[in-house]
A = this chain, B = another copy of it.
Amino acid sequence: MKKYAFGVDVGGTTVKLGLFDREGNVIDKWEIVTDKTDGGKNVLPDIAKAILAKLDEKDIDKDDVEGIGIGVPGAINSDGFLVNGAVNIGWGNFSIPEELGKYIDLPIVAGNDANVAAYGEMWQGGGKGHKSIVAVTLGTGVGGGIVIDGKLLVGTNGAGGEIGHMHIEDDETEACGCKNHGCLEQYTSATGITRLANRRLAKDDKPSVLRNGEVSAKTVFDAVKDGDELAIEVAEQFGEYLGKGLAIIAAVVDPEVFVIGGGVSKAGTVLFDYIVPAFKKYAFAACRNTEFALATLGNDAGIYGSAGLILN
Protein backbone atom coordinates (compact mmCIF):
# COMPACT_ATOMS: atom_id res chain seq x y z
CA MET A 1 0.00 0.00 0.00
CA LYS A 2 1.54 3.26 -1.13
CA LYS A 3 1.32 6.29 1.12
CA TYR A 4 0.27 9.16 -1.11
CA ALA A 5 -1.87 10.27 -4.04
CA PHE A 6 -2.42 13.48 -5.97
CA GLY A 7 -5.83 14.93 -6.77
CA VAL A 8 -6.13 17.41 -9.64
CA ASP A 9 -9.14 19.52 -10.62
CA VAL A 10 -8.82 21.29 -13.97
CA GLY A 11 -10.87 24.48 -14.24
CA GLY A 12 -11.09 27.18 -16.88
CA THR A 13 -9.03 29.67 -14.84
CA THR A 14 -6.94 27.63 -12.43
CA VAL A 15 -5.93 24.04 -11.88
CA LYS A 16 -6.29 22.96 -8.25
CA LEU A 17 -3.90 20.31 -6.96
CA GLY A 18 -3.76 18.39 -3.69
CA LEU A 19 -1.36 15.93 -2.11
CA PHE A 20 -3.26 13.39 0.02
CA ASP A 21 -2.42 10.54 2.35
CA ARG A 22 -4.28 7.23 2.09
CA GLU A 23 -6.75 8.22 4.81
CA GLY A 24 -7.93 11.18 2.76
CA ASN A 25 -6.12 13.91 4.68
CA VAL A 26 -4.87 16.75 2.51
CA ILE A 27 -1.16 17.29 3.18
CA ASP A 28 -0.77 20.20 0.81
CA LYS A 29 -2.93 21.98 -1.72
CA TRP A 30 -2.13 24.68 -4.24
CA GLU A 31 -3.17 26.13 -7.58
CA ILE A 32 -1.57 26.84 -10.91
CA VAL A 33 -2.90 29.01 -13.74
CA THR A 34 -4.72 27.18 -16.56
CA ASP A 35 -2.70 28.10 -19.65
CA LYS A 36 -5.35 28.06 -22.36
CA THR A 37 -3.03 29.25 -25.18
CA ASP A 38 -2.54 26.93 -28.17
CA GLY A 39 -5.68 24.89 -27.47
CA GLY A 40 -4.61 24.26 -23.89
CA LYS A 41 -1.67 22.10 -24.95
CA ASN A 42 0.45 23.20 -21.96
CA VAL A 43 -2.09 22.32 -19.28
CA LEU A 44 -1.15 18.64 -18.81
CA PRO A 45 2.64 19.24 -19.03
CA ASP A 46 2.22 22.05 -16.45
CA ILE A 47 0.36 19.66 -14.13
CA ALA A 48 3.10 17.05 -14.47
CA LYS A 49 5.76 19.67 -13.71
CA ALA A 50 3.85 20.92 -10.66
CA ILE A 51 3.53 17.38 -9.26
CA LEU A 52 7.19 16.51 -9.89
CA ALA A 53 8.24 19.78 -8.20
CA LYS A 54 6.01 18.95 -5.20
CA LEU A 55 7.57 15.48 -4.84
CA ASP A 56 10.96 17.15 -4.86
CA GLU A 57 9.91 19.84 -2.36
CA LYS A 58 8.41 17.30 0.06
CA ASP A 59 11.22 14.79 -0.53
CA ILE A 60 8.67 12.10 -1.43
CA ASP A 61 9.78 9.09 -3.49
CA LYS A 62 7.60 8.49 -6.57
CA ASP A 63 7.40 4.83 -5.50
CA ASP A 64 5.40 5.96 -2.48
CA VAL A 65 2.72 7.52 -4.69
CA GLU A 66 -0.33 5.44 -5.70
CA GLY A 67 -1.07 7.72 -8.64
CA ILE A 68 -2.86 10.81 -9.90
CA GLY A 69 -6.60 11.37 -10.13
CA ILE A 70 -7.75 14.15 -12.38
CA GLY A 71 -11.13 15.79 -12.94
CA VAL A 72 -11.74 17.75 -16.13
CA PRO A 73 -14.67 19.86 -17.36
CA GLY A 74 -16.00 17.57 -20.07
CA ALA A 75 -17.69 14.23 -20.66
CA ILE A 76 -15.23 11.39 -20.08
CA ASN A 77 -15.81 7.70 -20.64
CA SER A 78 -14.70 5.00 -18.23
CA ASP A 79 -11.31 4.73 -19.97
CA GLY A 80 -10.56 8.41 -19.30
CA PHE A 81 -11.20 9.44 -22.90
CA LEU A 82 -12.61 12.94 -23.41
CA VAL A 83 -15.51 12.22 -25.76
CA ASN A 84 -16.71 15.73 -26.60
CA GLY A 85 -13.63 17.79 -25.82
CA ALA A 86 -13.50 20.42 -23.08
CA VAL A 87 -14.46 23.77 -24.60
CA ASN A 88 -13.52 25.78 -21.50
CA ILE A 89 -9.92 24.63 -21.84
CA GLY A 90 -9.75 24.43 -25.62
CA TRP A 91 -9.25 20.66 -25.64
CA GLY A 92 -10.48 18.28 -28.31
CA ASN A 93 -11.03 14.53 -27.88
CA PHE A 94 -8.17 12.48 -26.46
CA SER A 95 -7.23 10.14 -23.63
CA ILE A 96 -6.28 12.11 -20.51
CA PRO A 97 -4.31 9.27 -18.83
CA GLU A 98 -2.40 8.55 -22.05
CA GLU A 99 -1.56 12.21 -22.68
CA LEU A 100 -0.65 13.14 -19.08
CA GLY A 101 1.28 9.86 -18.87
CA LYS A 102 3.74 11.20 -21.46
CA TYR A 103 4.98 13.73 -18.91
CA ILE A 104 4.86 11.80 -15.65
CA ASP A 105 5.28 8.10 -14.99
CA LEU A 106 2.50 7.34 -12.47
CA PRO A 107 -0.88 5.56 -12.71
CA ILE A 108 -3.57 8.05 -13.77
CA VAL A 109 -7.37 7.96 -13.64
CA ALA A 110 -9.56 10.70 -15.09
CA GLY A 111 -13.19 11.67 -14.60
CA ASN A 112 -15.67 14.43 -15.29
CA ASP A 113 -15.29 17.28 -12.79
CA ALA A 114 -18.88 17.10 -11.46
CA ASN A 115 -18.69 13.33 -11.06
CA VAL A 116 -15.31 13.54 -9.38
CA ALA A 117 -16.60 16.20 -6.96
CA ALA A 118 -19.52 13.89 -6.10
CA TYR A 119 -17.04 11.15 -5.35
CA GLY A 120 -15.12 13.56 -3.09
CA GLU A 121 -18.27 14.40 -1.13
CA MET A 122 -18.97 10.69 -0.67
CA TRP A 123 -15.42 9.91 0.44
CA GLN A 124 -14.63 12.83 2.74
CA GLY A 125 -17.52 15.30 2.57
CA GLY A 126 -21.25 15.57 3.26
CA GLY A 127 -21.81 11.96 2.17
CA LYS A 128 -19.01 10.47 4.29
CA GLY A 129 -19.93 7.05 5.63
CA HIS A 130 -22.23 6.34 2.67
CA LYS A 131 -21.60 4.28 -0.45
CA SER A 132 -24.50 5.42 -2.63
CA ILE A 133 -25.09 9.13 -2.99
CA VAL A 134 -26.51 11.64 -5.42
CA ALA A 135 -24.60 14.91 -5.24
CA VAL A 136 -26.48 17.97 -6.50
CA THR A 137 -24.54 21.13 -7.31
CA LEU A 138 -26.74 24.24 -7.35
CA GLY A 139 -24.51 26.83 -9.00
CA THR A 140 -24.89 28.94 -12.15
CA GLY A 141 -26.33 25.73 -13.56
CA VAL A 142 -27.34 22.50 -11.85
CA GLY A 143 -24.83 19.66 -11.97
CA GLY A 144 -24.95 16.24 -10.47
CA GLY A 145 -22.85 13.22 -9.73
CA ILE A 146 -23.99 9.75 -8.77
CA VAL A 147 -22.04 7.17 -6.80
CA ILE A 148 -23.57 3.68 -6.47
CA ASP A 149 -21.99 1.10 -4.16
CA GLY A 150 -18.80 3.20 -4.14
CA LYS A 151 -18.54 3.43 -7.94
CA LEU A 152 -19.12 6.52 -10.08
CA LEU A 153 -22.05 6.22 -12.46
CA VAL A 154 -20.40 7.75 -15.55
CA GLY A 155 -23.04 6.87 -18.14
CA THR A 156 -22.78 5.61 -21.70
CA ASN A 157 -22.33 9.11 -23.11
CA GLY A 158 -20.80 10.64 -20.00
CA ALA A 159 -24.26 12.00 -19.16
CA GLY A 160 -24.80 10.03 -15.92
CA GLY A 161 -26.00 12.45 -13.25
CA GLU A 162 -26.84 15.24 -15.74
CA ILE A 163 -29.81 15.96 -13.54
CA GLY A 164 -29.92 19.68 -14.33
CA HIS A 165 -31.39 18.68 -17.67
CA MET A 166 -34.17 16.42 -16.43
CA HIS A 167 -37.48 17.66 -17.84
CA ILE A 168 -39.56 18.88 -14.90
CA GLU A 169 -42.02 21.50 -16.23
CA ASP A 170 -44.25 21.18 -19.30
CA ASP A 171 -45.38 24.81 -19.31
CA GLU A 172 -42.11 26.63 -19.98
CA THR A 173 -41.73 29.12 -22.81
CA GLU A 174 -38.07 30.11 -22.29
CA ALA A 175 -35.36 27.74 -23.53
CA CYS A 176 -32.73 26.27 -21.21
CA GLY A 177 -29.04 26.66 -22.12
CA CYS A 178 -29.29 23.12 -23.53
CA LYS A 179 -32.08 24.34 -25.88
CA ASN A 180 -34.77 22.12 -24.27
CA HIS A 181 -37.64 23.65 -22.29
CA GLY A 182 -38.50 23.01 -18.65
CA CYS A 183 -35.18 21.57 -17.37
CA LEU A 184 -34.66 21.33 -13.59
CA GLU A 185 -31.78 23.80 -13.92
CA GLN A 186 -34.19 26.52 -15.10
CA TYR A 187 -35.79 26.67 -11.62
CA THR A 188 -33.23 25.48 -9.10
CA SER A 189 -29.85 26.92 -10.14
CA ALA A 190 -28.80 30.31 -8.77
CA THR A 191 -29.92 31.78 -12.08
CA GLY A 192 -33.15 29.80 -11.93
CA ILE A 193 -34.01 31.03 -8.44
CA THR A 194 -33.40 34.63 -9.59
CA ARG A 195 -35.71 33.97 -12.54
CA LEU A 196 -38.45 32.56 -10.27
CA ALA A 197 -38.09 35.60 -7.99
CA ASN A 198 -38.28 38.11 -10.84
CA ARG A 199 -41.34 36.35 -12.26
CA ARG A 200 -43.01 36.47 -8.86
CA LEU A 201 -42.12 40.15 -8.34
CA ALA A 202 -43.60 41.04 -11.73
CA LYS A 203 -46.87 39.25 -10.95
CA ASP A 204 -48.31 41.82 -8.56
CA ASP A 205 -47.34 44.54 -6.09
CA LYS A 206 -46.96 42.42 -2.97
CA PRO A 207 -44.34 44.14 -0.78
CA SER A 208 -40.96 42.44 -0.34
CA VAL A 209 -37.43 43.45 0.62
CA LEU A 210 -36.46 41.99 -2.76
CA ARG A 211 -37.97 45.10 -4.38
CA ASN A 212 -35.30 47.28 -2.74
CA GLY A 213 -32.10 45.84 -4.12
CA GLU A 214 -30.41 43.07 -6.03
CA VAL A 215 -32.44 39.93 -6.71
CA SER A 216 -30.30 36.79 -6.44
CA ALA A 217 -30.41 33.33 -4.89
CA LYS A 218 -28.54 34.80 -1.92
CA THR A 219 -30.89 37.75 -1.37
CA VAL A 220 -33.93 35.48 -1.80
CA PHE A 221 -32.79 33.09 0.95
CA ASP A 222 -31.61 35.95 3.17
CA ALA A 223 -35.14 37.36 2.84
CA VAL A 224 -36.62 33.92 3.58
CA LYS A 225 -34.66 33.85 6.85
CA ASP A 226 -36.11 37.28 7.69
CA GLY A 227 -39.65 35.99 7.10
CA ASP A 228 -40.29 37.87 3.84
CA GLU A 229 -43.55 36.36 2.52
CA LEU A 230 -42.85 36.84 -1.16
CA ALA A 231 -39.37 35.33 -0.82
CA ILE A 232 -40.93 32.38 1.01
CA GLU A 233 -43.28 31.84 -1.94
CA VAL A 234 -40.23 31.73 -4.23
CA ALA A 235 -38.47 29.27 -1.89
CA GLU A 236 -41.58 27.08 -1.94
CA GLN A 237 -41.57 27.04 -5.73
CA PHE A 238 -37.85 26.20 -5.73
CA GLY A 239 -38.44 23.44 -3.17
CA GLU A 240 -41.36 22.03 -5.13
CA TYR A 241 -39.27 21.71 -8.30
CA LEU A 242 -36.15 20.32 -6.62
CA GLY A 243 -38.04 18.04 -4.22
CA LYS A 244 -40.05 16.62 -7.11
CA GLY A 245 -36.91 16.14 -9.22
CA LEU A 246 -35.06 14.37 -6.41
CA ALA A 247 -38.09 12.15 -5.71
CA ILE A 248 -38.00 11.06 -9.35
CA ILE A 249 -34.26 10.35 -9.04
CA ALA A 250 -34.92 8.31 -5.88
CA ALA A 251 -37.35 6.09 -7.83
CA VAL A 252 -34.54 5.43 -10.32
CA VAL A 253 -31.32 5.02 -8.30
CA ASP A 254 -32.59 5.00 -4.67
CA PRO A 255 -29.49 6.52 -3.01
CA GLU A 256 -28.76 6.60 0.73
CA VAL A 257 -28.37 10.37 0.77
CA PHE A 258 -28.70 13.48 -1.37
CA VAL A 259 -25.75 15.84 -0.84
CA ILE A 260 -26.58 19.43 -1.79
CA GLY A 261 -23.70 21.73 -2.75
CA GLY A 262 -22.81 24.68 -4.98
CA GLY A 263 -23.19 28.41 -4.36
CA VAL A 264 -26.90 28.17 -3.51
CA SER A 265 -26.15 25.70 -0.72
CA LYS A 266 -24.40 28.46 1.24
CA ALA A 267 -27.94 29.38 2.35
CA GLY A 268 -27.62 26.33 4.62
CA THR A 269 -30.18 23.94 6.04
CA VAL A 270 -33.04 26.39 5.37
CA LEU A 271 -33.01 24.82 1.88
CA PHE A 272 -34.15 21.53 3.37
CA ASP A 273 -37.24 23.22 4.88
CA TYR A 274 -38.44 23.67 1.30
CA ILE A 275 -36.91 20.68 -0.52
CA VAL A 276 -37.74 17.87 1.92
CA PRO A 277 -41.53 18.33 2.27
CA ALA A 278 -41.88 18.35 -1.53
CA PHE A 279 -39.57 15.34 -1.77
CA LYS A 280 -41.72 13.38 0.68
CA LYS A 281 -44.89 14.35 -1.18
CA TYR A 282 -43.66 12.94 -4.50
CA ALA A 283 -41.38 10.09 -3.36
CA PHE A 284 -42.20 6.39 -3.71
CA ALA A 285 -42.98 5.09 -0.21
CA ALA A 286 -39.88 2.87 0.11
CA CYS A 287 -37.51 5.82 -0.38
CA ARG A 288 -39.47 8.56 1.39
CA ASN A 289 -36.92 8.75 4.23
CA THR A 290 -33.82 9.20 2.11
CA GLU A 291 -31.36 11.46 3.95
CA PHE A 292 -30.35 14.98 2.95
CA ALA A 293 -27.00 16.60 3.77
CA LEU A 294 -25.08 19.70 2.79
CA ALA A 295 -21.85 19.36 0.86
CA THR A 296 -18.87 20.25 3.05
CA LEU A 297 -15.82 20.31 0.77
CA GLY A 298 -16.74 23.39 -1.29
CA ASN A 299 -14.24 24.03 -4.09
CA ASP A 300 -11.96 21.28 -2.78
CA ALA A 301 -14.45 18.49 -3.63
CA GLY A 302 -12.70 17.96 -6.98
CA ILE A 303 -9.21 17.38 -5.58
CA TYR A 304 -10.58 15.11 -2.84
CA GLY A 305 -12.64 13.12 -5.32
CA SER A 306 -9.88 12.69 -7.86
CA ALA A 307 -7.43 11.56 -5.17
CA GLY A 308 -10.13 9.24 -3.84
CA LEU A 309 -10.63 7.67 -7.27
CA ILE A 310 -7.00 6.57 -7.37
CA LEU A 311 -6.80 5.50 -3.71
CA ASN A 312 -10.05 3.48 -3.46
Contact = CB atoms under 8 A, between A and B. Distances in A.
A251 interface: yes
A285 interface: yes
Nearest to A164: B251
A252 B179 contact: no
A250 B149 CA distance: 20
A292 B247 CA distance: 25
Contact of A287 (B159, B244, B285): B159
22 contacts: A78-B149, A132-B156, A146-B253, A153-B254, A154-B254, A155-B254, A156-B256, A156-B287, A157-B254, A157-B287, A158-B254, A159-B287, A160-B252, A162-B251, A162-B284, A162-B286, A162-B287, A163-B252, A165-B251, A165-B284, A178-B284, A178-B285
Interface in A280-303: 282, 284-287, 290
A84 interface: yes
Interface residues of A, number: 42
A147 to B, nearest CB: 11
User: Taking the full assembly, how many copies of this chain does it contain?
Assistant: 2
Contacts of A284: 159, 162, 165, 178, 180
A130 to B, nearest CB: 9
A80 interface: no
A182 to B, nearest CB: 8
Contacts of A161: 252
A102 interface: no
Nearest to A171: B170
B84 A166 contact: no
Contacts of A75: 286
Contacts of A73: none
Contacts of A253: 146, 153, 155, 160, 252-253
A167 interface: yes
